[in-house]
């Protein structure tokens, strides 16, 4: 801790407690503290980058788009899931604890292994599909067809907030079930029965406890909990012999 870190937190600074961990050093997990100068519009990501630039270049974190489109800067701020790029420091108090997402393996410091999130997604189904195209419409030069990208940022915040995922690594999680529901909703190229069989499995939609924490933290409004309930409704309809 240098001279600035030893200063008292003022209106223009915030004290940060940052989780530190280097892969393979399980016994070395700890928190480092930094006092960071902030302004009225400073984001959490800007504060973390200031630490990386001015105090500790070894601090590892992920970021890309800077405007809540890519989902790569997901983390825990004072125990709550957030995207660092759009989270104002002014909303977090004078002392801010920053940790990696929960329920996802940590690679180093604030960087989570998102492979564990993607591995939960349903297999063998197209997540990028040809969009509808009017026969009499002209496509822009150099573009042969349109494609539709989904609302989900695949940031992992929903999985981190899920109380079931915190007790079971086998539960597929809200992100994966949201992806399955989007495929069912679209009905192009996906095997609906295979998706429903997957969602009806012992680690699928029925494991959800309907805490709605996933929907609460979702930065894209994808409503994972609502989509899980919709899958349950479809499963019940098919169980009772009445398809959509």
pLDDT tens-place string over residues 63-122: 999 999 999 999 999 999 999 999 999 999 999 999 999 999 999 999 999 999 999 988
* Average pLDDT score over residue span 41-64: 97
Which DSSP state fits 129? -
Q: 20-24, 182-186, 239-243: which has the minimum mean pLDDT?
A: 239-243
Place of tokens 């970021």: 63
Structure tokens at 193: 């029965």
Structure-block tokens of residue 173: 């999680």
Record the pTM: 0.84
Helix, strand or coil for residue 11? Answer: coil
Using only C-alpha atoms, the chain has a radius of gyration, in whole angstroms, of 21
CA distances from 14 to 110, 173, 192 (A): 19, 34, 51
Backbone angles phi, psi at 31, to 5 degrees: -115, 135
Is 80 exposed, middle or buried, given 0-12, 13-18 or 19+ CB atoms closer than 10 A?
Answer: middle
E strand or H helix at 122 = none
Q: Could you read off the pLDDT of 174-210 as tens digits, one per residue? A: 999 999 998 888 766 678 899 999 999 999 999 999 9
Task: Quote the tokens at residue 75.
Answer: 């983390």
Q: Which residues neighbour 149 within 8 Å (Cβ) at sequence distance 6 or greater?
A: 128
- Rounded mean pLDDT of the chain? 88
Separation of alpha carbons 11 and 122, rounded Å: 48
Give the pLDDT confidence score for residue 126 in this predicted structure: 57
């Amino acid at each position: 801790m240098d001279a600035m870190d030893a200063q008292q937190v003022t209106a223009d600074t915030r004290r940060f407690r940052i989780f530190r961990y280097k892969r393979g050093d399980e016994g070395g997990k700890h928190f480092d503290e930094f006092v960071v100068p902030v302004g009225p519009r400073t984001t959490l990501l800007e504060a973390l980058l200031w630490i990386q630039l001015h105090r500790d270049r070894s601090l590892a974190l992920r970021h890309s788009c800077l405007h809540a489109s890519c989902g790569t800067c997901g983390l825990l701020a004072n125990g709550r899931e957030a995207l660092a790029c759009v989270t104002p420091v002014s909303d977090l108090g004078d002392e801010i604890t920053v940790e990696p997402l929960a329920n996802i393996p940590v690679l180093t410091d604030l960087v989570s292994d998102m492979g564990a999130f993607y591995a939960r997604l349903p297999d063998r189904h197209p997540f990028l599909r040809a969009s509808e195209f009017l026969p009499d419409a002209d496509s822009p030069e150099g573009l042969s067809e349109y494609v539709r990208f989904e609302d989900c940022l695949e940031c992992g915040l929903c999985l981190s907030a899920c109380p079931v995922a915190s007790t079971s690594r086998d539960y597929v999680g809200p992100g994966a079930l949201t992806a399955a529901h989007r495929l069912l909703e679209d009905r192009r190229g996906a095997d609906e029965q295979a998706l429903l069989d997957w969602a009806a499995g012992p680690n699928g939609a029925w494991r959800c406890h309907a805490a709605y924490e996933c929907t609460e933290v979702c930065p894209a409004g994808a409503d994972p909990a609502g989509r899980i309930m919709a899958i349950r409704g479809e499963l019940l309809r098919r169980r009772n012999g009445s398809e959509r």
